[in-house]
C-alpha cells in the first residue's frame, strides 16, 4: 500500500505549480522530494533538469516513509540511466531524504514531454529543440518508410536562419541529429522528435 501519488501527467504537465495539486495530509515529504528531484540535471544534456526533460515520471511515498521516484529511459540504450539514478539518490540524500529509483517503461518517453522551459534552455545552449506535437501523432497502420530527406523546419540556434540542412539523423547522443546552417555555416545539433 502506498499513499496517494502524483500521476505522471501531474508531475510532467504542471511543473511550476507544485503546491496546487498536492494532497495536504502527506504533502510535505513528497513535495520536498519532488522539488529536489525535478531540478537534478541530465548527465548528457546538463542544461536540462530531469523534470524539464520529462523523464521524471512519478514520485510516491510508501507507508514506510520511503520516497520512490520513477524515471523512464529516453532511448532503449540510454547509457545515462544509472547516472540519473545515482544523481537522484544522492541529491535527495543531501537534503536528508532516503529515496529509491524505479524504472518506468510505459508509456514510452516522447520529446513532446520536454517542457517549454526545457526547449528554451536547449536553444540557449545552442541546441535546436524538438518541434512540439509531431512525435506523438498516432499512426494508423504501419509506419511508412521515408526515403527522402526528413523535412523539418529547423532554425539555426546561432543566427536564427531557417536555411539549415540535415547532415545526419544520428549524432553524438541517441537523441540528436546533426544539422548545419547554410547562412552562418555553423554546425549544430537538433533534438530529434520521437
Contact positions vs another protein (CB under 8 A):
16, 18-19, 28, 31-32, 34-36, 38-41, 43, 46-47, 49, 68, 70, 73, 75-79, 81-83, 85-87, 89-91, 93-95, 100-109, 117, 142-143, 145-147, 150, 167-172, 174, 178, 192, 194
Is the distance from CB of 52 to CB of 85 less than 8 angstroms? no
Q: Are strands 127-128 and 187-191 parallel, antiparallel or unpaired?
A: parallel
Work out which of 161, 165, 169, 170 binds Zn ion, going by CB under 5 A: 161
- The nearer residue to Zn ion, 83 or 159, going by C-beta atoms, is 159
Under the binding rule (CB under 5 A), the answer on residue 181 touching Zn ion is yes
**Which does residue 29 touch among another protein, Zn ion, none (CB within 5 to 8 A, set by kind)?**
none
- The nearer residue to another protein, 115 or 157, going by C-beta atoms, is 115
In 10 A of CB 169, how many CB atoms? 12
Task: Output phi, psi for 120, to 5 deg.
Answer: -65, -40
Of 116, 123, 109, residue with least CA distance to 191 = 123
Q: Are strands 99-103 and 67-71 parallel, antiparallel or unpaired?
A: parallel
Q: Which residues bind Zn ion (CB under 5 A)?
A: 156, 158-159, 161, 181, 183-184
Amino acid at each position: 500500500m502506498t499513499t496517494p501519488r502524483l500521476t505522471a501527467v501531474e508531475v510532467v504537465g504542471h511543473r511550476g505549480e507544485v503546491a496546487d495539486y498536492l494532497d495536504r495530509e502527506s504533502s510535505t515529504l513528497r513535495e520536498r522530494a519532488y522539488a529536489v528531484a525535478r531540478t537534478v540535471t541530465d548527465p548528457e544534456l546538463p542544461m536540462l533538469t530531469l523534470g524539464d526533460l520529462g523523464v521524471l515520471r512519478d514520485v510516491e511515498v510508501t507507508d514506510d516513509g520511503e520516497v520512490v521516484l520513477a524515471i523512464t529511459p529516453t532511448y532503449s540504450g540510454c547509457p545515462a540511466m544509472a547516472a540519473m539514478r545515482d544523481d537522484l539518490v544522492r541529491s535527495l540524500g543531501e537534503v536528508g531524504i532516503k529515496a529509491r529509483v524505479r524504472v518506468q517503461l510505459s508509456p514510452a518517453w516522447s520529446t513532446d514531454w520536454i517542457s517549454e522551459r526545457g526547449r528554451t534552455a536547449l536553444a540557449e545552449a545552442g541546441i535546436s529543440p524538438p518541434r512540439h506535437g509531431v512525435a506523438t501523432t498516432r499512426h494508423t497502420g504501419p509506419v511508412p518508410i521515408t526515403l527522402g530527406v526528413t523535412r523539418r523546419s529547423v532554425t539555426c540556434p546561432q543566427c536564427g536562419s531557417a536555411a539549415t540542412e540535415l547532415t545526419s539523423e544520428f549524432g553524438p547522443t541517441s537523441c540528436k541529429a546533426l544539422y548545419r546552417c547554410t547562412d552562418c555555416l555553423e554546425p549544430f545539433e537538433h533534438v530529434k522528435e520521437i
